Amino acid sequence: MTLRSADATLRAFTHVADDRSHGDGPLAGMPVVVKEIIDVAGMPVGLGSALFADRVPRTDAEAVARLRAAGAVIAAITTSTPFACGTTTPTDNPRAPGHTPGGSSAGSAAAVGAGLVPVALASQSQASTIRPASYCGVWGFKPSHLALPRGGMHLLSDTLDDLGVMASSLTDLSAVLDVLGVVPGPPAPPRVGLLRLDDGGLPRPETRAALAGLVSRMRGLGVEIVDADPGLAAFDAAVVGSGQACFDLFAGESAALLRTYVAAGEPDPRLREMVAHADAIGPEGLAAALRHRAELQAAWADLTPTVDLVLTLSTTNPAPSGHATTGCRRMPATASLLGVPALSAPWLTVDGLPQGVQLLGFAGGDAALLGGARWLDTLLQGDR
């Protein structure tokens, strides 16, 4: 099955490349697809908006150039909500047809979840890598802030925007990250802390039960689980409401650029909502969000003597039905606000739908997070 024929119902791609040649290197011949806010030379990269439907970059984004140099094949451009912050996309969820694949990296997650490609480039400002990875049952990685190259990406929030990567396996994910500049650490048994984060009480009993079952299984396999700890409890209390702070920050920093797109005729209502929100909170609201971020970052760093990584849900629940929304962004937003690495692992199923488990590390600790995840995944796979 070709990418074009497979996309008739999935609607994950805005462009499929005709030239599939590749070079030599560690990724020789690996097909990779790219979210349409990341420049690929000679291909239409429209930023998810009709305003830029004819946009064809002349040069590759830095991440794309590194992948090509390592022998990867850029196979297609994937759908994004407008400017990676709009309402929705036409893309379906391959693991749950009729449900959202998440956003804004909808096409990237759907392409990997459908088994069409092993790896996709994505992005995240609040939830756009971790959430669709969770909904589509794939691996998703958001790095420590600025740990992966952002050159040639369309940016909205300098404080929050990061390149993301999705993959069908941890092996493929690690190979691509190695090329992009984050070298995974060796597998090592981590001390795993448990947090709810800013979940708003939204996870259903079935979702909580699935996570509790996984934690129980880990304990039985000898994983060191840290839960009855005052520091973790204090952070869970402090992080309540941080999802709103992340949105305040995102809207406040992106409003100036989004205002120009709205004035140029971009119809997506989400952009107008973000501009209006930024106007409502004003500079004082943006400054307050930045202060709250700094306070939470300090509290997060205080957890390092106690745990090596934190385990929680990637999303509050599996993908909701329909395409009117891309789902709740609460759970992934914490990692973006903190600027710490996060990994969505496809370890759970709830009501027959994929449900990701989120592993969070510490700023600059991307290698250690990936090494701990590798150790845990090997342990869990061996127990099946």
The predicted-structure confidence for 128-158, as pLDDT tens digits, reads as follows: 999 999 999 999 999 999 999 999 999 999 9
Rounded mean pLDDT, 236-243: 96
Predicted confidence band of residue 1 (pLDDT cuts 50, 70, 90): low
For 33, list phi and psi in degrees, rounded to 5: -110, 155
Q: Summarize the confidence of residues 109-119 as an average pLDDT.
A: 98
As a whole number, mean pLDDT of residues 116-126 equals 98
The catalytic position among 105, 123, 128, 344 is: 128
Q: What percent of the chain has pLDDT over 90?
A: 95
Residue 271's nearest CA partner among 49, 31, 9 is 49
- Residues 154-174 as b/e (b if ≥16 CB within 10 A, e otherwise) read bbbbebbbbbbbbbbebebbb
Q: Report residue 384's pLDDT band, with 50, 70 and 90 as the boundaries.
A: low
Domain that holds residue 24: 3-180
Which pLDDT score, from 0 to 100, does residue 21 have? 78
Residue of 35, 123, 144, 157 marked active site: 35
Q: Which residue has the higher pLDDT, 7 or 339?
A: 339
Two structure tokens written together for 284: 């004082």
What pLDDT is attached to residue 4?
Answer: 87
19 pLDDT higher than 90: no
Catalytic residue among 49, 80, 104, 125: 104
What average pLDDT is seen over the chain?
97
Give me the mean pLDDT over the 317-337 stretch.
Answer: 96
Residue 130 pLDDT: 98
Q: What CATH number did the domain enclosing 122 receive? A: 3.90.1300.10
- Is the pLDDT score of 170 beyond 70? yes
3-state secondary structure string across 230-288: HHHHHHHHHCCCHHHHHHHHHHHHHHHHHHHHHHHCCCCHHHHHHHHHHHHHHHHHHHH
Residue 344 lies in a domain: no
**How many other C-beta atoms can be found within 10 angstroms of the C-beta atom of residue 25?**
16
Using CA atoms, how far apart are residues 281 and 287, in angstroms rounded to an integer?
Answer: 10
Does 232 score more than 90 pLDDT? Answer: yes
The pLDDT > 70 percentage for the chain reads 99
Look at residue 249 and tell me if it is in a domain: no
* Assigned domain for 122 exists: yes
Determine, yes or no, domain membership for 92: yes
Residue 361 included in any domain: no
pLDDT band at 204 (very low <50, low <70, confident <90, very high): very high
Residue 255 belongs to a domain: no
- Of the pLDDT bands very low, low, confident and very high (cuts 50, 70, 90), residue 2 is confident
Is residue 160 domain-resident? yes
128 in active site: yes
Mean pLDDT (whole number) for 351-375: 98
Residue 133 lies in a domain: yes
The mean pLDDT value for 183-206 works out to 97
The number of domains in the chain is: 1
Average pLDDT value for residue range 193-209: 97
Angle, CA of 204, 218 and 213, to the nearest 5°: 25
